[in-house]
Amino acid sequence: MLDSILEYKVYTLIMQIGQLAKETGVSVQTVRFYERGKLLPEPARKESGYRMYGPEHVKRLQFVLQSKALGFSLAEIREILQMRERGHCPCDDVIGFAEKHLKEVQRQIAELSRFEDQLTRALKQWRKAGDRDISADAIWILIGRTMRSNQPETRKQKRSK
């Protein structure tokens, strides 16, 4: 059911695992995986043993999926959920957590920006080449360049700075 004022789905029915999976676009195995990892609260069960899920499970699973899409690890998502469940947590913990993730997001954006520049230059060159064959390794090489720029520094490299 769609609430026309708030424009989001209102889940009024209790659902089984297959319906939860379908509603959130994941497999049943994924739902079970997140349950085992304590990212979803344990659902109530019918006398028959079937898991019964409600609106809180849909919201929580959507949160987990969006967090993953934003680059948070499962451990980080679990930590965020635990902080929320405690209701109050030291400000320094929240700020530190956010700062750490911001640095990672900034690193990823910089890496993607470098790749965008390299890919743009390569496409211009390939288009200029016209009908000439372009190496099947061309994309492999571009991706390889990002791997080299993303490698951690060795002790020898650090000492030479």
Q: Which of 51, 86, 121 is the last residue of a domain?
A: 86
Expressed in percent and rounded to 5, the helix, strand and coil fractions of the chain are 65, 5, 30
Mean pLDDT of 38-49: 90
Q: Is residue 102 domain-shared with residue 77, that is, in the same domain?
A: no
Residue 115, both tokens: 């790749």
Q: Is residue 81 domain-shared with residue 95, that is, in the same domain?
A: no
- For residue range 54-63, list pLDDT tens digits in order: 999 999 999 9
Number of domain units in the chain: 2
Distance CA 20, CA 56 (A): 11
CB 15 within 8 A of CB 51: no
Percent share of the chain, pLDDT over 90: 34
- For residue range 86-99, list pLDDT tens digits in order: 886 667 777 888 89
For 18, other C-beta atoms within 10 Å of its C-beta total: 13
Q: Which of 65, 86, 107 is the last residue of a domain?
A: 86
CB 20 within 8 A of CB 13: no
The residue segments making up the domain with residue 70 are 2-86
